[in-house]
Structure 1
Amino acid sequence: MRSGLLALTLALTSLALAGCARQTELKPAAGAELPPTPYGEAIQPDAGDLLERPVQAAPERNVELRTRSEPREDDPFDLPPEG
């Protein structure tokens, strides 16, 4: 019982410490370089440019919330299973 409590306490403590990471500017590792310039680009993108996601990778959501119940429209693809 006591060893289980100790293990749980250690796990929670290590998880809390792992969340206390220091945030610094990203740079390539020592001796490493950024990837080569993309084909057709005139300038080499820096680390910040490479981390930005294009709109196609994370599109904005267009969600229309329904405020009241509405009957469903007929779905021509909602077919019964073939047996």
Structure 2
Amino acid sequence: MNRKQASFGSQDSRRKIVDPIVLTTCSQESLSIVVSITKKCTCPEVSARPSFEDVLWNLQYAAQVQATADADQRSDSTS
């Protein structure tokens, strides 16, 4: 694992890499999915990297998770 991959591992390290606006507006679950696929994409072993289809699927899933979190937050704020 290279240094950048390791830096995604902890919450404190993510703050140094991920835009502060993204950290405050994204759900942690959605962000974790994106970080996970990013780590896999930057793996030094080419054979361990995900396919393009896997990357797309994970990003679409992260978007769905985020949309659900946004909807939940909106319904909580209107209650």
Q: TM-score, normalised to structure 2's length?
A: 0.24
More helix, by proportion: 2
